[in-house]
Structure 1
């Protein structure tokens, strides 16, 4: 998947904005035509802040998966096997990317993209065009981050616990057989365990991923 050209993204954003603005029931709280430059800039800044806040909530939930995935990569010895995200040109962890892709599949499978469009439309009702306001209290971000990290740790808990047990077993083995090259053996054992246990645990992660996606939208509803 390659990055969508900026011109296409701009045209898509303008088309969606026009469709949403045409269906707004509440009218702007101020006369947009009679605005002076200072008031217009503040109104534009308010709309930009609302968009950033929605994107921030989504990014925080997916970032929790990347953090847990990076931790698993370090435990399993995949710390140097970073992937390159073609859309952002940034390095991403192996297991974190896998968790994020699964979360993206769940997001679209439960019609999260529809809920996201409804959320953007509802923001026009909650904060009318030209008005200044926030969709949520900023301090609630920490509550969301704590909940997202808890769910993300639950997704990777089985794999992290297995790799920790493998580290303990290899440490005991190194004490019993000091002549054995535990480093090379550990990379092989933990690499195989990460693949086997990771593939098995994926069967039980769907409910937690669904809860993570739903938590994003409950955050705005609360």
Structure 2
């Protein structure tokens, strides 16, 4: 299933491909008894069979990407926070992203993963995977304008979520910049750059630590919201 290519936790690059294949086979064995009996489209050629396989793969990929939006929001929030704090040069290699990401972004992604597991988010993904076979029988998947509109809408939701997560730090640091600008006018002899950089780092990290409960709450609510909305995505890909 394409679910194990991009799904949160289960689709991580650190998980060996053999494990993902084994999980996909195991899940298939478990859900097969509950799959409704339908007449599959004619597969008179290898090309038709490949098309059916790609359709089923696409369902899993879209489903996994849908739940991954939470982690993308945490990563974007970390990048915005790191830029505001001044830690944009402090980056670490992320094997899942295949490139460099901000240190705070890595921290928030790891925290989002822990929260996701703590609230049984992986169970929600598995449940949605099972429901997909009830709503979209094998060979009955369609992609239309509604599917694209839903994905665009929830991707925009992830962007808004990222701003909400990062907003406490961003607002605090903007006020800090205003305060430092005022001080530099009142005390022209002070080297505001030497004082300002460590001050912004300290204030940013303190506010980040204080905002962790808010981050936990927002991620829990967002996971529940996506779980309630995943049926809309599945319905858009199922034939009436």
Bin the TM-score by the shorter chain. 0.7 to 0.9
Q: Is the 8 A contact 2:70 2:219 kept in 1?
A: no
Aligned-pair CA distance for 1:82: 1.0
Equivalent residue for 1:175, pick from 185, 196, 221: 185
Q: Which moved more, 1:102-111 or 1:83-92?
A: 83-92
The one-character-per-residue Cα deviations of 1:192-216 (angstroms, maximum 9, x if unpaired) are 1111111111122222111111122
Aligned-pair CA distance for 1:104: 1.6
Aligned-pair CA distance for 1:6: 2.1
Q: Secondary structure at the match of 1:18?
A: helix
- In the TM superposition, structure 1's runs of 4+ consecutive aligned residues that sit over 3 Å from their partners are 86-89
Gaps of 5+ in 2: 1-11, 233-240
2:219 is aligned with 1:215: no
Counterparts of 2:95 and 2:189 in 1: how far apart (Å)?
44
Q: Is the 8 A contact 2:35 2:137 kept in 1?
A: no
Counterparts of 2:155 and 2:106 in 1: how far apart (Å)?
19
Equivalent residue for 1:107, pick from 116, 130, 147: 116
Equivalent residue for 2:126, pick from 117, 136, 139: 117
Q: Is the 8 A contact 1:61 1:145 kept in 2?
A: no
2:171 is aligned with 1:161: yes
The aligned counterpart of 1:147 is 157
The one-character-per-residue Cα deviations of 1:97-149 (angstroms, maximum 9, x if unpaired) are 22222222221112111111111111111111122324962111222123223
The aligned counterpart of 1:71 is 80
Q: Is the 8 A contact 1:127 1:134 kept in 2?
A: no
How many residue pairs match? The answer is: 220
Counterparts of 1:59 and 1:178 in 2: how far apart (Å)?
49
* RMSD over equivalenced CA pairs, Å: 2.3
The aligned counterpart of 1:95 is 104
Counterparts of 1:221 and 1:19 in 2: how far apart (Å)?
21
The one-character-per-residue Cα deviations of 1:34-91 (angstroms, maximum 9, x if unpaired) are 6432321221111111112112212333212211211111110110111222444421
Q: Secondary structure at the match of 1:84?
A: strand
Counterparts of 1:187 and 1:35 in 2: how far apart (Å)?
67
Aligned-pair CA distance for 1:173: 2.1
The aligned counterpart of 2:47 is 38
With normalisation by structure 1, the TM-score equals 0.88
| Shift in alpha-carbon separation, 1:18–1:88, aligned structure 2, 3 A | farther
